[in-house]
Amino acid sequence: MKPFILFFARMRFFVVLWSSAFFLATSCTTAEKSARRGDNFLALGEYAEAAGQYKKAYQLTPLKDKQRRAELAYKMAECYRHYGYTSRALGSYRSAERLHLTDTLTYFYIAEMLRQQGDYKASARAYEEFLANHADYELAKLGLEACTLAPAMKKQGSLYTVKLEPLFSSTRADYCPAFLDEEGSQIFFTSTRRSAIGDELSGITGQKAGDIFYCKKNELGVWLRPEPAEGINTVFDEGACTFSSDGKTMYLTVCRTDPQYPRMAEIWTSNRADASWSKPQILKITSDTLSSYAHPAPSADGKFLYFVSDMPGGFGGTDIWRAQIGSHGVVTVENLGPSINTPGNEAFPTLRPNGELYFSSNGRGGMGGLDIYKAIEDTLNHTWSVSHLPSPINSNGDDFGMTFEGLHHRGYFASNRSTGGRGWDKIYSFTHPEVLQTVKGWVYELDGYELPSAQVYMVGNDGTNVRIGVKADGSFEREVIPGVSYVFLASDKEHLSVQNHFTADANASETHQYVLQFPLPSINIPVLVRGINYEFDSAALTDSSKIALDRLVRMLNDNPQVVIELAAHTDHRGSNIYNQRLSERRAKSVVSHLVSQGIPESRLVAKGYGESQPFIVNKKLTETYSFLHTGDTLTTEFIARLDTTKQEICHALNRRTAFRVLRNH
């Protein structure tokens, strides 16, 4: 089939694999003119146009000139291979073989094309022919091994169910599905269907340039018919799109063309306001203008963008890289390393909310063409463990571009397998039986808003030890394993840490989600301890206060290095001296309770402020009390201007217990 049409042809991903000066043209015959035109098109990466010119030159070259015909057949085969015309590529490689051009990669690519057609026996023979003279060629050794393993993989199958989705299908190529959100209410994909913008056929693929289309579900959960994505598509190739976790930013691959110069694939972004998308803008990854960047995939927390590139420093044809994204763009770029990347091509990364990376590769053996793999990162050791997805997810064709409905084991992917799509790229749905247990957490400032800068550490008694970034709304989501006990610790450099722990149900019979809250206290400002109440005109704690104090005990245990001041405040009713003494007794009462719960007294300082420090309204509180504004200070004069009901609210806010961090080391 096409070991990398998805990257080099569908997306106009330019890589010069053949020198346009393979032979010195000395004749001005029509055949040589066509051959030179083919070389020019090949130099621009226009494989379909080049193949047509080489075919014409081949037909016009005399039969007796076997060497020249062999060279043209090989070039023609290379072009067909690059834009995915597997059967024609195989035929042309066979012609080169018949004309005795076998000292190159001819047998290797014959083997590759046969394996992509599912003819594993014939493919194995071709690999053996090639390895007889190239014994150290790693990809050929992997291919030969795969010819033995692939039939058994197909026969064994798996619990996955795969089905062609006719609603997304056209008479041309449809590929790279991507959900807009975790709920799966909208899906976007790339298509070269007739309704794509532009009338000209691509010199690269012989098809129309790809456009982005989308489908959305109606109120009954049924997909509506595909529509073009407004504001995104042009006469150039747009495709392989994906989205930030909040669905507000689209990342896409754009492949512009030039009649005289090769153009590299680029990553662009578009922002969504309501239902419309802004005009895409290029995202500069590096200053290298001679390499291509494609197939973007943002991490759930938005801090990294995974992508595919052929830039220097890789391990093969194309590698998966990731860029750290800051407030002003790309900060650093790193290759994912040899545990992910191979001498072949890696492409189409997808990041799930649980941190799993799915990608396609033709450099690991597999069943043929691009196969889909799952990778899990050990964030502490910076390594990846990689596993091959079973049949029927993978086939002898190209399988790529997976998208998941949240943490569910269901979604869509693309394939050009011979069943269903007749060799065209088509979109397939997949499902896997599941009794899914997940955890969803929310990290936010105590009495404040979400903390997207926070980190969450997930530790399980099964050896799980991962670091999780949170999304822009302060949330994270992960799958958990039945029977495993977990500890989750949320931390942020300007806040104290908070822990949660639970054990996932070992005998769950239905899907369940555990919801955890992580209200992080600030290190820099006083933190209100809600729920602490005292007996009237007394420092004695009420029974209901114990719940709030238990939370405070847990926080202190989670942060054993901190020393805090416990501060009690009163309203302004009563004399200054009385209020001062009452607040001091109440602060000492809280400290005494904490000490009784095992907190060392050396970590606690009791302080009574009486009525001397009126409460200052924060933004969060204005959402509860509309008559208050951020920065209002609840002084005697301020309260006097209010009606009786509002005065009582302000008095209650002034009567408070809070703590502030004195030392954090």
**CATH classification of the domain holding 22:** 1.25.40.10
Same domain flag for 242 and 292: yes
pLDDT at res. 7: 43
Q: Say yes or no to pLDDT of 10 above 70.
A: no
pLDDT at res. 103: 84
Q: Which domain holds residue 81?
A: 5-156
pLDDT at res. 383: 86
Q: In total, how many domains does the chain have?
A: 4
pLDDT at res. 332: 94
CA 228 to CA 189: how far, in whole Å? 10
Same domain flag for 116 and 64: yes
Q: Is 79:93 a contact under the CB 8 Å cutoff?
A: no
Query: Length of the chain, please?
Result: 665
Return the closest-CA partner of residue 447 out of 579, 576, 618: 618
Over residues 319-345, the pLDDT tens digits come to: 999 999 988 888 999 999 999 999 999
Over residues 434-484, the pLDDT tens digits come to: 999 999 999 999 888 999 999 999 999 998 898 888 988 999 999 999 999
End of a domain among 520, 551, 569? 520
Q: Say yes or no to pLDDT of 26 above 50.
A: no
pLDDT at res. 73: 96
Q: 394 lies in a domain?
A: no
Identify the band that residue 23 occupies on the pLDDT scale cut at 50, 70 and 90.
very low
Q: Say yes or no to pLDDT of 234 above 90.
A: yes
The percentage of the chain sitting over the pLDDT mark of 90, rounded to a whole number, equals 76
Q: Is 556:549 a contact under the CB 8 Å cutoff?
A: no
Q: 362 lies in a domain?
A: no
Same domain flag for 38 and 62: yes
3-class SS letters over 79-140: HHHHCCCHHHHHHHHHHHHHCCCCCCCHHHHHHHHHHHCCCHHHHHHHHHHHHCCCCCCHHH
Strand order of the sheet with strand 319-326? 293-298, 304-309, 319-326, 329-335
Return the closest-CA partner of residue 238 out of 254, 215, 225, 261: 254
How do 383-388 and 371-378 pair as beta strands? Answer: antiparallel
Q: 206 lies in a domain?
A: yes
CA 168 to CA 188: how far, in whole Å? 10
Over residues 637-658, the pLDDT tens digits come to: 999 999 999 999 999 999 999 9
Instruction: Show the beta-strand stretches assigned E in 432-483.
Output: 437-445, 455-460, 465-469, 475-479
Q: 351 lies in a domain?
A: no
Same domain flag for 569 and 613: yes
CA 417 to CA 118: how far, in whole Å? 10
The percentage of the chain sitting over the pLDDT mark of 70, rounded to a whole number, equals 95
Q: 548 lies in a domain?
A: yes
Please give the model's pTM, rounded to 2 decimal places: 0.78
Over residues 579-588, the pLDDT tens digits come to: 999 999 999 9
Same domain flag for 199 and 99: no
CA 404 to CA 413: how far, in whole Å? 9
End of a domain among 465, 497, 520? 520
Same domain flag for 101 and 182: no
Q: Say yes or no to pLDDT of 220 above 80.
A: yes
Same domain flag for 91 and 137: yes
Q: At which residue do the structure tokens 């309203």 appear?
A: 571
Q: At which residue do the structure tokens 């190159």 appear?
A: 104
CA 480 to CA 434: how far, in whole Å? 13
Same domain flag for 592 and 660: yes
Same domain flag for 458 and 541: no
How do 293-298 and 304-309 pair as beta strands? Answer: antiparallel
Over residues 115-171, the pLDDT tens digits come to: 999 999 999 999 999 999 999 999 999 999 999 999 999 999 999 999 999 999 899
Peptide bond into 392 cis (omega under 30): yes
Q: 29 lies in a domain?
A: yes
Angle at 332 (CA atoms; ends 331, 337), nearest 5 degrees:
155
Same domain flag for 180 and 329: yes
Q: 262 lies in a domain?
A: yes
Read off the tokens for 549.
């104090």
End of a domain among 371, 398, 431? 431
Q: Say yes or no to pLDDT of 49 above 90.
A: yes
Q: 378 lies in a domain?
A: no
Same domain flag for 230 and 149: no
Same domain flag for 423 and 472: no
